[in-house]
Copies of this chain bind each other. A is one copy, B any other.
Amino acid sequence: MDNDITVLLRSRGFKVTPQRLAIYEVLYNSKEHPSAEMIFSRLQSVYPTMSLATVYKTIEILREIGLVQILNAGEDSFRYDANTDNHPHIRCLICGRVDDLEGVDSHHFINMIAKQTDYKITGQQFYFYGICPECQQKSN
């Protein structure tokens, strides 16, 4: 994985830097769809001088080379995901966590839509919201 990103960056004319590797590693090892701020603070101890702008600039490069996707879960900031497969997400309206919706096959639904529109569909995002298991328990 560390090799994948190194090769990819270089082949696309981007330099390989510790910051870029570190930011990707946070995303790659996380299932919580961190925001720029979350990535930034997670790396504070390792890279105390890192700028938030570096996080944003790096994410844009990672998106460009196809290593991350940008999620808009209806919050005031974006979330980022190293899983670039198009998969649906769900956000808890109480604690704010954003999770994957596992094991969902959207193909049938998407094909149905494609047949009913004159648009040429190139992508889609499905966002659900609700209450996560933990928050359901707490409210009982």
Binding site for B on A (CB under 8 A): 72, 74, 88, 90, 92-93, 99, 101-104, 106, 108-109, 112-113, 116-133, 136
Q: In the assembled complex, which residues on chain B have CB atoms less than 8 Å from the CB atom of A116?
A: 101-104
Number of copies: 2
Tell me the interface secondary structure of chain A in the complex. mixed
Residue pair A101, B128 in contact (C-beta under 8 Å): no
Interface centre among A112, A129, A130, A132 (most CB of B within 10 A): A130
Contact (A119, B133) CB under 8 Å given A74-B72, A74-B125, A113-B128: yes
Residue pair A117, B90 in contact (C-beta under 8 Å): yes
Residue pair B136, A129 in contact (C-beta under 8 Å): no
Contact (A121, B74) CB under 8 Å given A109-B109, A127-B127: no
Residue pair A129, B120 in contact (C-beta under 8 Å): no
A13 to nearest B CB, angstroms?
25
A72 to nearest B CB, angstroms?
6
Would you mind naming 10 contact pairs between A and B with Cβ atoms under 8 Å apart? Answer: A90-B117, A90-B121, A93-B122, A101-B113, A119-B131, A119-B132, A124-B126, A124-B129, A126-B126, A127-B127
